[in-house]
Structure formats: structure tokens, C-alpha cells
């Protein structure tokens, strides 16, 4: 995989962010998501890879574009697996809340876990706490281990977790241990990544979220030198059947980072849609717009922050055309 591809993948996330960002705060999460999908798919047609979507918008009969198994790219080498979330945080965009992203992870064929769209238990930390966590250990034990690694008191740690009724017990255990808690409404990809970026103020992620999002976050954490563990949570026979269909024989297996993402020849790109802990959101000004993106390559450890100005007049496919939005 060529280094030059990194910028090509950023173009993909930029397009999705520019299109969906027009719908920030408009209260229509479906339109925002569709705008991101449409723009991302168009730009993928120009990227010089033979790509297969392994994590996307759903099965072929559920999604017209970026469905699992869809081929993208110009059809030349390298052959890669692609995980996409054109709009990670549809509710965040529709309500104008922070931390909505457009993300893509790319790896050689067979190197991304083909996770079904079910729940996954997750725990994630940054590089300094790598090797200190265990998904099966009590919450307090994990917090103490991370505190030792970071040379802090537990009370100085911040744990991030989705604000859901299913997490009430974990939240209570975090508080009982003395750590601080940051509750989020949506977007656990950005939350997991935040654990590996020093100035976000986030130290550890707990909780249950989407399995596809877990794989995408794992790709980013591998590039950043962090750690993530997960375990699939199939609910009923139908979801268990989907786990087996994806080639996972043991649905209860503890999935380590190398199970989620094999090797280090990984690209990860993200563009901010709304302002967040890591990235600024899209700024529009007449016929131009500014984006803030992050692109990482696991093989070299390179992390690039990219601020770009785009001509919307010359690239109208970057602009949402639904929910009353024009190309202006």
C-alpha cells in the first residue's frame, strides 16, 4: 500500500463531512447520513485501489451504496478491505452536538474483522496504558491498573462511556472507584480514539456499542499505539447465526487488538463534521468550506493533521442536495 493513498482516503472522508455538515442541526439524521454516503461513494470511485467494503451501511438488500461486499475504487492494485462510517454520530449532526465524524479504515485483504452489526463489549486505552487492561477484570481493577501506568491517582482518571441504561452498573462502579466519568450520547468511535490522544482528557473507554464501530476504532488505536479488547454480544439465534456467517466460530471469544485488526499495514482517516475533542467541524463560507482531518498509517506511525479549504463551486458533489439544501 502506497503512502500516497493516505491523502486519497482523506479526500473520501472530507467529501462525506462536507456533504453532511450542511445538515447540522436540521433534525433530519437520515438525510444527513444519506448525504454522507452519497458523497463518500462518489469519491471512492476515484481512489486507485480494488476495495471491498467489509464494514459498511449494511447488507446488500439493506443499503443501496457502501453495502457489505460492495467493490469500490478504480479496480487496480492494491486489493484492500475497507471499513466505513460515512457519518459516525447521526444524532449528533441532526442535533448540532459535538464529535460527529466521517471515518474510514483500510487494510490489506483479510486484515479487518468482518464484524456483524450487533453489540460488542469494549474497553480501550492509549499507548501509555497498553497492556494494563482486561475486559474480564472488574472495573475498579482496570482503573487502578491504568492509574499506575499513567502515574496518577484513580481520582484523576476520566472514563468515557455511552449514556445508556445498560451501562448503569458500570457507571456506578467507576464512580465508586473514585474516577471521573464523561457520559456521551453517541459516537463511541471518537470516544475510543480519544483515549489515545493526550489533550482530549480521556483515559479509558468502557461499555457496549456497535461491533462494526469497534473494528473501526481498533484500526485507529493500532495506528496510535493504543489497545482495545472486545467481545461480541449476539442477542438471540438470529444474531448468533450472523456471527457464524461472518466466519467467527466462537461468538464468546475475547477479541484482542490483533484479532480485530491484523498487522500494522493500516490506514485510518477521519474528518470532523461537528466540533469535537479531536477535530474541528466543517466551516462554510460562500463557495468555500474548511475541513479538519486526521490521517494515520500504522506501518510508519505517521499521524497527520490536515486543514483544507475546498471550492464547493468546483466540487458540487461535496454538498448535500436534500432537505432543502442547494449547491450554494
Q: What is the predicted pLDDT for the residue at 326?
A: 37
Residue 96 lies in a domain: yes
**pTM (global) more than 0.85:** yes
272 and 234 within one domain: no
> Where in 152-203 does DSSP place strands (E)?
158-162, 180-184
Cα–Cα distance between 304 and 227 in angstroms, integer? Answer: 20
E-only strand ranges, 89-144: 101-108, 119-125
Residue 325 domain-assigned? no
Give the domain CATH number at 144: 3.40.190.90
Are the CB atoms for 188 and 122 separated by under 8 Å?
yes
Q: Count up the domains in the chain and report the number.
A: 2
123 and 212 share one domain: yes
Range of the domain at 255: 119-260
Is 326 part of a structural domain of the chain? no
- The answer on 270 and 309 residing in a single domain is yes
On whether both 124 and 247 belong to a single domain, the answer is yes
| Judgement on whether residues 209 and 273 belong to the same structural domain of the protein | no
**Residue 233 counted as domain residue:** yes
Q: How much is the pLDDT for 324?
A: 41
**What is the predicted pLDDT for the residue at 325?**
43
What integer pLDDT is reported at residue 322 of this predicted model?
A: 41
Do 163 and 289 lie in one domain? The reply is no
Q: Specify if 108 maps to a domain.
A: yes
Q: Domain with 279 in it: what CATH number? A: 3.30.540.10
Same domain, 27 and 79: yes
Of 240, 194, 186, which Cα lies nearest the Cα of 217? 194
Query: What are the CA-CA distances from residue 85 to residues 51, 100, 166, 218 (Å)?
Result: 15, 11, 24, 14
Q: Are residues 105 and 151 in the same domain?
A: no
pLDDT for residue 315 = 66
Q: Judge if 96 and 9 occupy the same domain.
A: yes
Q: Is residue 90 domain-shared with residue 126, that is, in the same domain? A: no
- Choose one of 230, 260, 290: the last residue of a domain: 260
Mean pLDDT by 10 residues, the chain (328 residues): 81 97 96 96 95 89 86 95 96 96 97 93 98 98 98 98 98 98 95 94 97 97 97 94 86 95 96 95 94 95 94 68 40
What is d(CA 118, CA 24) in angstroms, rounded to the nearest whole number? 27
Is 140 within a domain? Answer: yes
For residues 189 and 314, membership in a common domain is answered with no
DSSP symbol at 138: -
DSSP per-residue codes, 253-310? --B-HHHHB-SS--EEEEEESS--SS----EEETTEEEEEEEEEETTTTEEEEEEEEE
Amino acid at each position: 500500500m502506497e503512502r500516497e493513498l493516505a491523502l486519497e482516503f482523506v479526500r473520501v472522508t472530507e467529501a462525506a463531512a462536507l456533504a453532511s455538515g450542511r445538515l447540522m442541526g436540521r433534525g433530519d439524521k437520515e438525510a444527513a447520513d444519506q448525504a454522507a454516503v452519497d458523497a463518500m461513494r462518489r469519491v471512492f470511485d476515484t481512489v486507485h485501489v480494488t476495495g471491498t467494503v467489509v464494514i459498511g451501511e449494511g447488507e446488500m438488500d439493506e443499503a443501496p451504496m457502501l453495502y457489505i461486499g460492495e467493490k469500490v475504487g478504480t479496480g487496480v492494485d492494491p486489493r484492500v478491505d475497507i471499513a466505513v462510517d460515512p457519518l459516525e454520530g447521526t444524532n449528533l449532526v441532526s442535533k448540532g452536538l459535538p464529535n460527529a465524524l466521517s471515518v474510514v479504515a483500510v487494510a490489506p485483504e483479510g486484515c479487518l474483522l468482518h464484524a456483524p452489526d450487533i453489540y460488542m463489549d469494549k474497553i480501550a486505552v492509549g499507548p501509555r496504558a497498553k497492556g494494563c487492561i482486561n475486559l474480564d477484570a472488574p472495573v475498579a481493577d482496570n482503573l487502578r491498573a491504568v492509574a499506575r501506568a499513567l502515574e496518577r491517582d484513580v481520582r484523576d482518571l476520566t472514563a468515557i462511556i455511552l449514556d445508556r441504561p445498560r451501562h448503569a452498573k458500570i457507571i456506578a462502579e467507576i464512580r465508586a472507584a473514585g474516577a471521573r466519568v464523561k457520559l456521551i450520547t453517541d459516537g463511541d468511535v471518537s470516544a475510543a480514539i480519544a483515549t489515545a490522544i493526550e489533550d482530549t482528557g480521556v483515559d479509558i473507554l468502557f461499555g457496549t456499542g456497535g461491533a462494526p464501530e469497534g473494528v473501526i476504532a481498533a484500526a485507529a488505536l493500532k495506528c496510535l499505539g493504543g489497545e482495545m479488547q472486545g467481545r461480541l454480544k449476539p442477542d438471540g439465534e438470529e444474531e448468533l447465526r450472523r456471527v457464524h456467517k461472518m466466519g467467527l466460530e466462537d461468538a464468546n471469544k475475547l477479541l484482542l487488538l490483533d484479532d480485530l485488526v491484523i498487522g500494522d499495514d493500516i490506514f485510518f482517516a477521519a474528518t470532523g463534521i461537528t466540533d469535537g475533542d479531536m477535530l474541528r467541524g466543517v466551516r462554510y463560507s460562500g463557495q468555500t468550506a474548511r475541513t479538519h482531518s486526521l490521517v494515520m498509517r500504522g506501518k510508519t506511525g505517521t499521524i497527520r493533521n490536515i486543514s483544507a479549504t475546498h471550492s464547493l463551486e468546483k466540487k458540487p458533489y461535496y454538498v448535500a442536495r436534500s432537505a432543502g439544501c442547494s449547491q450554494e
